[in-house]
Amino acid sequence: MCDGKLLGDPAQQITGAASLVEATDGEVSFFNNPKYAAQLRRTRASAVFVPSDFSEQIAAAQIRVSNPAKAFEQVVLKLAPKPIEFAPGIHPSAIVDPSVRLGTRVSIQPHAVVETGATIGDFTVIGAGSYIGHETIVGANCIIYPHVTIRERTRIGARVVIHSGAIIGADGFGFEPAEGRYEKVPQVGLVQIDDDVEIGANTTIDRARFGRTWIQEGAKIDNLVQVAHNVVIGKHTVIAAQTGIAGSVRIGQRVLIGGQAGIIGHIEIGDNTAIGAQSGISKNISGGAWWASPAVPLAEAKQQIAWVRRLGKLFARVKEIEKKLGLS
């Protein structure tokens, strides 16, 4: 299955898969990071996928492969229960407007609502209790999990996965002061989500004030992420949980954003940039790794932390010098 080289008993039966810490007799695990060497030595797994150049002696059987994590994943998929499948058709409790255009083998689950003028592509599943707004287009082979809200005129491509609780197309946070109070700025744009995007649970993506909020092909967005109006997220960018992105930010391709990062509005983040967890981005940045708040290049951030941690010793030395010099 994985083109591996076995060092161990080929008659050993494998009945499950688990991490190095949790694995027991009859289970297979994997090792591909030196920082887990101690766990590897203590594991009770019967077999372990290891790198091709692995040379250490361990109690478990070794299966040497080029990519231990990938090989382990293949085995997990073989051992795992079959994916849940939804029969095509419209559940009697669902509400689907007669004007809705449904593709081949679409599945509309209980209590879902699909409004006037919507289009649902071939083999797409609309989960229980989900809402598809007026004139929204959902492409083929999408999975919309239960209790997702997709508001009017949203455009969703093919093979998109949206997890429970996500809200796509809510109004952007647009208000202007007027005579001592705030008046709402109409949010008349839309949200466009391209092919192969995945959006995590309870994430919110706001519609544009005008034009579009645009999530481009292959982007992956974790749970509890806020994407404000008119944001553009480039192809194959990955955003971890609890990140907040303010309005009109433009994020390039293949960007990595760690959890709880905060990005102020109307700035640009260039292609191939990495942003560490809990960073605050307050200006245009591009390329390399950035961290801290406000974010600076990673090497500079580490140096600043080192300086701060040495301040106590520095103060003590200064006091000692002042004492020797007779200064108060």
Whole-angstrom distance between the N-terminal and C-terminal Cα of the chain?
A: 76
Average pLDDT for 232-242: 98
Say whether both 183 and 66 belong to one domain.
no
Residue among 91, 229, 236, 266 flagged as catalytic: 229
Evaluate whether residue 307 is within a structural domain: no
Residue 328 pLDDT class (50, 70, 90 cuts): low
Average pLDDT over all residues of the chain: 96
pLDDT of residue 327: 85
Say whether both 48 and 122 belong to one domain.
no
Q: What is the pLDDT of residues 292-310, one digit of tens each?
A: 998 999 999 999 989 989 9
Domain count along the chain: 2
Evaluate whether residue 240 is within a structural domain: yes
229 is catalytic: yes
Say whether both 48 and 193 belong to one domain.
no
Average pLDDT for 203-212: 97
- Greater confidence, 296 or 142? 142
| Residue where a domain stops, chosen among 79, 108, 131 | 79
Domain range for residue 243?
Answer: 89-300
Say whether both 36 and 160 belong to one domain.
no
Average pLDDT for 259-278: 98
Say whether both 273 and 210 belong to one domain.
yes
Please give, one letter per residue, the 3-state secondary structure of the chain.
Answer: CCCCEEECCCCCCCCEECCCCCCCCCEEEECCCHHHHHHHHHCCCCEEEEECCCCCCCCCEEEEECCHHHHHHHHHHHHCCCCCCCCCEECCCCEECCCCEECCCCEECCCCEECCCCEECCCCEECCCCEECCCCEECCCCEECCCCEECCCCEECCCCEECCCCEEEECCCCEEEECCEEEECCCCCEEEECCCCEECCCCEEECCCCCEEEECCCCEECCCCEECCCCEECCCCEECCCCEECCCCEECCCCEECCCCEECCCCEECCCEEECCCCEECCCECCEEEECCCCEEHHHHHHHHHHHHCHHHHHHHHHHHHHHHCCC
Evaluate whether residue 222 is within a structural domain: yes
CATH number (domain holding residue 115) = 2.160.10.10
Say whether both 152 and 74 belong to one domain.
no
Evaluate whether residue 24 is within a structural domain: yes
Evaluate whether residue 61 is within a structural domain: yes
| Residue where a domain stops, chosen among 58, 79, 100 | 79
Q: What is the pLDDT of residues 14-35, one digit of tens each?
A: 999 999 999 999 999 999 999 9
Residue 298 contacts residue 290 (beta carbons within 8 Å): yes
Evaluate whether residue 320 is within a structural domain: no
Average pLDDT for 207-215: 97
Say whether both 142 and 10 belong to one domain.
no
Structure tokens at 235: 């192809």
CATH number (domain holding residue 44) = 3.40.1390.10
Say whether both 148 and 243 belong to one domain.
yes
Say whether both 152 and 295 belong to one domain.
yes
Say whether both 229 and 282 belong to one domain.
yes
| Residue where a domain stops, chosen among 21, 51, 79 | 79
Say whether both 58 and 100 belong to one domain.
no
Evaluate whether residue 59 is within a structural domain: yes
Average pLDDT for 235-239: 98
Say whether both 226 and 125 belong to one domain.
yes
Evaluate whether residue 110 is within a structural domain: yes
Structure tokens at 160: 């998109």
Q: What is the pLDDT of residues 165-183, one digit of tens each?
A: 999 999 999 999 999 999 9
